[in-house]
Structure 1
């Protein structure tokens, strides 16, 4: 890299150049200096004509020779970060990105190494996934020991994302059907089935959906994995059909009935709560155990539909509180739990006739809710409009 303006001072002696530089940095006017020294240059480029500044202690990593920099202009003098470069290969020393030929070559070599490492890692992942699948598939599910909850979870997952050929359970993230009301519920459902090895990592799962350490799968992204149902190949299609279209013959005991109904109702209330908060531009990050506890208590006395009423009014009041009193959004969100609980307690104490809300068109009933209320309890919409129990 050469100083393309330095020739503009070729008619001056070394002493004259030194004097010019001294007067320049003493803030004499550029136009007067240019006129006096007869320099053919624009005012703003005068400092570019000065000899390059040598950095003897900074050697080019490629040429092993001292590097240089342009002289600072008066406007940047004493604070501007110098761009230090090699006159021979044009390498830049103190910049975020250098486009010299040597750096480009090094970057290309690094990219090739990274690609090779990624390829090796992917091959290792494929081996580990396959080995895990082969090992776990040796112990297929005994369908006779499945609980009603297990069957509900499996049925919902199969209905949502079973492949057309009945072979694989496609990633939930790629499916439009709604497995469960909230993301957390979906992830808990998948994690539960995976932990019990009712579903296995499919050999053709996306490699970036699992995390491997020390020759084993240590973590995974539940929504992005392709699974395979871990059942015996004998009577495979018949068993798949039975799980897809549940026909629960045995009676569900009251404790499990309340557990699953409460689980689904709470998730539906949270989905509605998040939707209303988004509508009123309130952050859902601050929703925690206090609000969940309030909803659980309210669901003991009022239906999911009626709780939608409490939620809508409470979120609306929280948003108005935020606007009117100029409080933080976090403070406004913290009033929601108390608002839901007060609505529930007042409605109970004064024997209100609480009007139920319909399902939001944008948030249809989930597959797990449909199966539980239609196939297992056989009560349909009463699961939404009746109190848990």
Structure 2
């Protein structure tokens, strides 16, 4: 019957009639037995069997349906990835066990490497502590920043500074955002780290820390880190050797130390005012899509000159009006945006000096809702000078 089926010259109906089979022609293949194939079982070396392909498939796929090939002893299907014979199930369990063991081994190795990296960070921390700075040796500028940094980013248990990039937002900034290419907060954090006032916390996410190996000794060492993604610890001490008292002193430094230095008070007031004016200028420019303008030395000089005569609040008003004039100039005269933007500082200087010479009483503008007061501004005006919003509405002066 099989030979007759393989002979395409013999019609299926003739085969059914010859063998007196009461089945439909399309069902004949089901009744044909499996045939031996030139393949042996990988488990028990038995000759494998396979079902014939239909006549319409034979030319394209061969005589035997590969997926049907099986072992008559154990039932193994050599061409099926989903074979469920006892041998394959056993092999699968063994493979899964090996994979689990490999995963477990890899996890142990990863944990071992992680522990080693953490140990290296602890070693680095201990080395840094040997060169800690006495609180009395910190400059007023750095103390003001550290105070602001503590109030903005130190964790609830006072153990470390939280990751800057995770917790920084417009409502939690140390400095005003007064330039666009970088972040003044990060720049200052890096500066005080380099001065030795901070060290990288061993509790930092290890993905934010880079390690390397010494080519000669094969010893791993701490190489670099992402300053915006690591946790930092204070590397400062006082004579009390009481850590929490130290943090309290840094959070609430002695006001008299600041007030007794009139030059520092005046310079800091002007700097904060300058930063706030530049931040407001950038925000106003961004609102009208004048994003190409970048404040430089000329902008600093003009604003600093105006701050000798006007408050930050009044200069906000000057900036707002000059930016609106630049927008009208751009829209009405079909000039390039950068030309219109560059006219702002020139006109700010010109109008400001007219206001000075004519003794004009300029309008006070309030703080912009979209750029909340920075932490360093809050600390300086509220805690050190104790003048609150008058720092924003008054002309910077030494006479406090």
TM-score, normalisation: structure 2:
0.62
Matched ranges for 1:6-21 at <5 A: none
Cα deviation, 1:289-317, whole Å, max 9, x if unaligned, reads 22222222222221111110111111112
Alpha-carbon offset, residue 322 of structure 1: 1.9
Aligned residues: 274
Residue 175 (structure 2) pairs with residue 180 (structure 1): yes
Question: In the alignment, does 2:163 pair up with 1:161?
Answer: no
Per the alignment, residue 264 of structure 1 pairs with 272
Separation in structure 2 between the aligned mates of residue 178 and residue 388 of structure 1, nearest angstrom: 22
Matched, 1:330 2:329: no
Q: Is the 8 A contact 1:291 1:336 kept in 2?
A: no
Q: Do the aligned partners of residues 132 and 350 (structure 1) sit closer, same or farther apart at CA in structure 2, a change above 3 Å counting?
A: same
Counterparts of 2:232 and 2:316 in 1: how far apart (Å)?
A: 35
How far apart, in 2, do the equivalents of 1:185 and 1:204 lie?
25
Q: Does 1:294 align with 2:302?
A: yes
The change in CA–CA distance for 1:276 and 1:231 in structure 2 (over 3 A counts) is: same
Alpha-carbon separation, structure 1, partners of 2:381 and 2:196 = 26
C-alpha separation in 1, matches of 2:224 and 2:331: 43
- Flag the 1:164–1:294 CA change in 2: closer, same or farther, 3 A: same
Equivalent position SS for 1:249: helix
Whole-angstrom CA distance in 2 between matches of 1:121 and 1:141? 32
| Structure 1 partner of 2:229 | 224
Write the mapping of 1:1-389 to structure 2, written as runs, cut at 5 A. Answer: 129-175=121-167, 176=169, 177-182=172-177, 184-209=183-208, 220-232=225-237, 234-250=241-257, 251-389=259-397
8 Å contact from structure 1 (residues 310, 344) kept in 2: yes
Report which of the two structures shows the higher radius of gyration computed on alpha carbons.
2
Residues 225 and 329 of structure 1: CA distance in aligned 2, closer, same or farther (over 3 Å):
farther
Report the secondary structure of 1:165's partner residue.
coil
Residue 193 of structure 1: how far off its partner (Å):
1.4
Query: Which sits farther off after the overlay, 248-257 or 152-161?
Result: 248-257
Q: CA RMSD in A?
A: 2.9
Aligned to 1:71: none
Query: Is the CA contact (8 Å cut-off) linking 1:280 and 1:319 kept in structure 2?
Result: yes
Which secondary structure does the structure 2 equivalent of 1:200 belong to? strand
Report if aligned partners of 1:156, 1:371 keep a CA contact under 8 Å in 2.
yes
Q: Is the 8 A contact 2:173 2:185 kept in 1?
A: no
Q: Bigger CA drift: 176-185 or 256-265?
A: 176-185
Q: CA-to-partner distance for each residue in 1:6-57, whole Å, 9 max, x for gaps?
A: xxxxxxxxxxxxxxxxxxxxxxxxxxxxxxxxxxxxxxxxxxxxxxxxxxxx
Cα distance in 2 for residues equivalent to 1:254 and 1:330: 40
CA contact (8 A) 1:283 1:333 kept: no
Query: Partners of 1:330 and 1:217 in 2: how far apart?
Result: 45
Structure 1 residue 336 displacement after superposition: 1.9
Q: Note the C-alpha offset of 1:122.
A: 8.3
Unaligned runs of 5+ in 1: 1-114
Deviates more, 1:366-375 or 1:200-209: 200-209
Cα offset, 1:237, TM superposition: 0.5
Q: Which runs of no fewer than 5 residues in structure 2 stay unpaired? A: 1-105, 215-220
327 and 217 in structure 1: CA distance in 2 versus 1, 3 angstrom threshold: farther
Instruction: Report the CA distance between 1:341 and its aligned residue.
Output: 1.0
Does the residue aligned with 2:236 lie in a helix, a strand or coil? coil
Instruction: Return the alpha-carbon distance in structure 1 between the equivalents of residues 339 and 222 of structure 2.
Output: 41
- How many Å separate the matches in 1 of 2:343 and 2:160? 45
Cα deviations by residue, 1:315-362 (Å, 9 ceiling, x for unpaired): 112222222222222222211221221121111111111111100122
For residues 363 and 217 of structure 1, the distance between their equivalents in structure 2, rounded to whole angstroms, comes to 38
Say if 1:274 and 1:284, in contact at 8 Å, map to a contact too. Answer: no
